[in-house]
Amino acid sequence: MLGSNFLTIAIVSRILTPAEIGVSVIGMAIVGFASSVREFASTSFLIQHKELARSDIQSAFTVMLIFTLVTAGALAVLAPHFAAAYEQQGLSPYLRVIALSMLIDLFPGLVATLMRREMAFGKVAVINISGAIVGMVVTIGLAHNGFSYMSFAGAWLATSCITALLALAIRWQPWIFRPTLRHWRRMVEFGGYNGVTALLAKAYEMVPYLLLGWFLTPQAAALFNRSMMICQLPDRLVLSGAISVVLPAFSAAVRDGKDVKQPYLNALALITALLWPVLLVIAVLAHPIVEVLLGRQWLETVPLIRIIAVASLFAFSCEMNYPVMVSLGAIRDVCIRALISFPASAAMVAAAVYFGGLEAAAWSMMVVIPFQAFVSLTFLRHRLGLEWGEIASALGRSAVVALASIAGPIGVVGLTDFNFALSLGAAIVAAILAAVGWLIAMSMTRHPLLDEIVLVIPILRRVARPAPAL
């Protein structure tokens, strides 16, 4: 899935202009709000629920169907008004195609949720990978044939159809989709907190795109979107597929009465040992990365990427905290946390866009992301009984590894009189030095991630083995 996403981004960013992609970004921001409303009927209810009867599943499907019909219907009806507001008439068919896709997504989404609860991640992977490949082929094909930003809407529809067919073929249980409202109160009670959380999170996430498109141009929205996308690639790389496993795994541990404090700290150490070095390398090598991944027409994103990449160092726990809190039954705390962090974050980003424009929006991340991380960890500490010192201890070796990893790239930049616009050859040398520095630091600090890697790559056992005493 990650490979197909890389390839899609690289090819489509060269076919379409930033202005064309900007229209899609605005459309996806609008859809983001609509999609978050569906979280008032979240499938997470099925994963964390201890005893799951057939009527629970059927009630969940019925509530989800109602919310999806209302959301997709509203999106289709309001599409022409959004198009008029942004003076982009193509937004209307774009939004209507996606509204149809949202309806179809309901079926594979429910089936995949039940598979994740049962730890059947192999089957889920088959569905997701197939959908990703279809989405890639359709997106590139439509873009190449002149469908502009509608390529993304068409790809979503194709992906929805293929994942629905595969999910139903792998797990054909028609009784799942038999409507009933027998246990709707349980679903709505859980979904109330979850829906508010999702709505606030999505509002914060989409504010810069909507405002940049409104006050500036669709191109500005696209530039910010691509900057965020590149800075989020390490997250996707490190946590790709992991988050969908975290909630079922931690929920199962809680149901069995196991302590999840130490597993959480171990997970933070493993994540940051990969995430932090990659983010620092992106900050230094932003120019060649953009040239290779997006093409020269996107070089305006380089200064934005450097700022956001450094700010993203503080986001090391954000993706994992939500599933852990849900597994602990702390969905109310998650909602309160969202009420504190997301409105304030959205206000800071909105002020930055309004008063300073595109670059100010990037700089606002330096305040917003650390603020969100602090609020999120504060709530989680209370639930797990964590001390700040324990978190710092879990992250200490990762910080050393990150600094060692970036030493080589900075040295290469220094040899070019600190010209960050490195050639492809120089960038490759810098990347190799970063990898060497990372491996040496991993061995010297005895980082726990090295033990996990050794299990996969036996040749590294000699590197990981302690030196004999003299």
272-283 mean pLDDT: 93
Check: CB of residue 47 under 8 Å from CB of residue 234.
no
pTM here is: 0.81
Cα–Cα separations (whole angstroms), residue 466 to 128, 308, 443, 445, 462: 41, 38, 9, 11, 8
The reported pLDDT for the residue numbered 40 is 61
Task: Tell me which range, 55-64, 70-79, 451-460, is most confidently predicted by mean pLDDT.
Answer: 70-79
pLDDT tens across 62-84, in order?
888 888 888 899 999 999 999 99
Check: CB of residue 10 under 8 Å from CB of residue 3.
no
211/189: higher pLDDT: 211
Tokens of 113: 């949720």
The reported pLDDT for the residue numbered 238 is 65
| Residue 196: band (very low, low, confident or very high) from pLDDT cuts 50, 70, 90 | confident
The reported pLDDT for the residue numbered 1 is 58
Integer Cα distance of 32 and 205 in angstroms:
9
The reported pLDDT for the residue numbered 467 is 43
Check: CB of residue 34 under 8 Å from CB of residue 70.
no
Check: CB of residue 282 under 8 Å from CB of residue 231.
yes
Lowest mean pLDDT segment, chosen from 31-40, 235-244, 308-317: 235-244
Q: How far is CA 280 from the centre of its chain?
A: 19
| Residue 345: band (very low, low, confident or very high) from pLDDT cuts 50, 70, 90 | very high
Question: What's the half-sphere exposure (Cβ side, CA atoms, 13 Å) at 29?
Answer: 26
Instruction: Write the DSSP symbol of residue 330.
Output: -
The reported pLDDT for the residue numbered 5 is 75
* Sequence letter at residue 419: N
| Residue 466: band (very low, low, confident or very high) from pLDDT cuts 50, 70, 90 | very low
| Residue 384: band (very low, low, confident or very high) from pLDDT cuts 50, 70, 90 | confident
The reported pLDDT for the residue numbered 63 is 82
- Mean per-residue pLDDT over the chain, rounded: 84
Lowest mean pLDDT segment, chosen from 67-71, 108-112, 151-155, 421-425: 108-112
432-440 mean pLDDT: 94
Lowest mean pLDDT segment, chosen from 180-189, 230-239, 265-274, 343-352: 180-189
